[in-house]
Amino acid sequence: MSTIDEVPAPARALRKDAARNRELLLAAAREVFGERGLDASLDDVARRAGVGVGTAYRHFANKYELAGAIFKQEVDEIAAIAADGLRHDDPWLGLVQFLESTLEAQTVNRGLREVLMGVHDAELEAEVHHLLAGPIIALVERAQAAGAVRLDAAPTDLGAMIMMLCVVADVAAEAEPRLWRRYLPILLAGLRPDGPALPVPPLADDVMRKAMSSHKQRLAQVTAQR
| Crossing angle for the helix pair 155-171 and 180-191, to the nearest 10 degrees | 160
- Residue 183 found at the interface with a copy of itself (CB under 8 A): yes
Is the Cα dihedral 218, 64, 126, 93 positive or negative?
negative
CB nearer DNA, residue 48 or residue 142: 48
167 binds DNA (CB under 7 A): no
Select the span of 19-27, 101-109, 133-141, 196-204 touching a copy of itself (CB under 8 A): 196-204
What is the rounded (10 degree) CA torsion for 92, 114, 69, 54?
A: -170
d(CA 168, CA 179): 7
Rank residues 53 and 86 by Cβ distance to a copy of itself and give the closer one: 53
| Minimum CB distance to DNA, residue 62 (Å) | 3
Determine, following the binding rule CB under 7 A, whether residue 21 of this chain makes contact with DNA: yes
Interaction between residue 54 and DNA (CB under 7 A) = yes
Kindly give the interhelix angle for 63-86 and 16-36, rounded to the nearest 10 degrees.
Answer: 90
Letter for the amino acid at 24?
L
Total residues contacting a copy of itself (rule CB under 8 A)? 72
One residue of 11, 16, 186, 224 binding DNA per CB under 7 A? 16
**Per CB under 7 A, which of residues 60..89 are in contact with DNA?**
62-64
CA distance 2 to 7: 9
Cβ-based neighbours of 67, under 8 Å, separated by 6 or more:
29, 33, 38, 121, 124
Q: How far is the CB of 141 from a copy of itself (least distance, A)?
A: 19
Considering the complex, state which of residue 80 and residue 214 has its C-beta at the smaller distance from a copy of itself: 214
* Closest CB to DNA among residues 18, 172: 18
Nearer to a copy of itself, 13 or 186 (CB): 186
Instruction: For residue 18, give every residue at least 6 positions away whose Cβ sits within 8 Å of its Cβ, in sequence order, or none.
Output: 59
- Under rule CB under 8 A, residue 197 binds a copy of itself: yes
What DSSP string describes 4-43? S-SS--SS-PPPHHHHHHHHHHHHHHHHHHHHH-TTS-HH
Query: What binding mask, one character per residue, do residues 60-99 give for a copy of itself by CB under 8 A, x or -?
Result: ----x--x--------------------------------
